[in-house]
Amino acid sequence: MTKLFLIKISDDYPERYWFRCTVLSGQDPGVFKQGIPLEEEVSIEFRVGSKPDAGRLLNYDFLFSDGPNFISPRFHRLLLDHDVQGLQFFDADVYMGEAKCHGYKVVNFTSKSKAFDESKSKSEPLLSYLPEGPALYTEIVLKENADTRVDLFRAEEDFTSMLAVARIKALCDAHQVGGLQFVEGVFKA
């Protein structure tokens, strides 16, 4: 049993650093949010929309796009060195202007699990005509102690939610991984 954290974009991650994603191998980018291993080969290209400050952008280890997320070579090595379970990696072609950056990896979460305390979390139907259909969570309270076999996974309740066990938060904090933050829940302001 372990404490869970939601993985979110860090507050200092600039909007101009969101990348455009093109899946060259033809898969729908949504396949990376299903929480399942992918068997087929994947080829993905990421391009930053505006001219970034490359030095500052390269300080981020977890990067965001209009498709899947991707990570720096440093973060990839850290995850491998600490035998982090629940991820699959694919090579990413990352471009800042015309310059190609090497060693970046697309991250695919390979499992999903129930993580929300349904009695305390609040949601509303995503589509008003499907009240029992998909839900939009307005407040998320995580289970106190989860029983998970992996370190990182997607929430069954909301496929966009990425979760980590306490060990991963500690690892990222200790190594100053940039671009993400760990939160204990999502609450209305």
Q: Which residues of the chain fall short of a pLDDT of 70?
A: 1, 49-52, 188-189
Q: What is the pTM of this model?
A: 0.90
| H helix count then E strand count, the chain | 3, 15
Q: Quick check: 136 and 124 in contact, CB under 8 A?
A: yes
- Counting Cα atoms < 13 Å in the Cβ hemisphere of 63 gives 31
Hey, which residues does 183 pair with through a beta bridge? 6
Report the share of the chain in percent with pLDDT over 70.
Answer: 96
Q: Give me the pLDDT at residue 188, please.
A: 63
Whole-angstrom distance, CA of residue 111 vs CA of residue 46: 24
**Any long-range contacts for 69-74 (C-beta under 8 Å, 24+ apart)?**
69/32, 69/106, 69/107, 69/162, 70/19, 70/44, 70/46, 70/94, 70/104, 70/105, 70/106, 70/107, 71/104, 71/105, 71/107, 72/103, 72/104, 73/102, 73/103, 73/104, 73/105
Q: Give me the pLDDT at residue 18, please.
A: 87
Q: Give me the pLDDT at residue 50, please.
A: 64
Q: Give me the pLDDT at residue 52, please.
A: 66
Q: Give me the pLDDT at residue 51, please.
A: 67
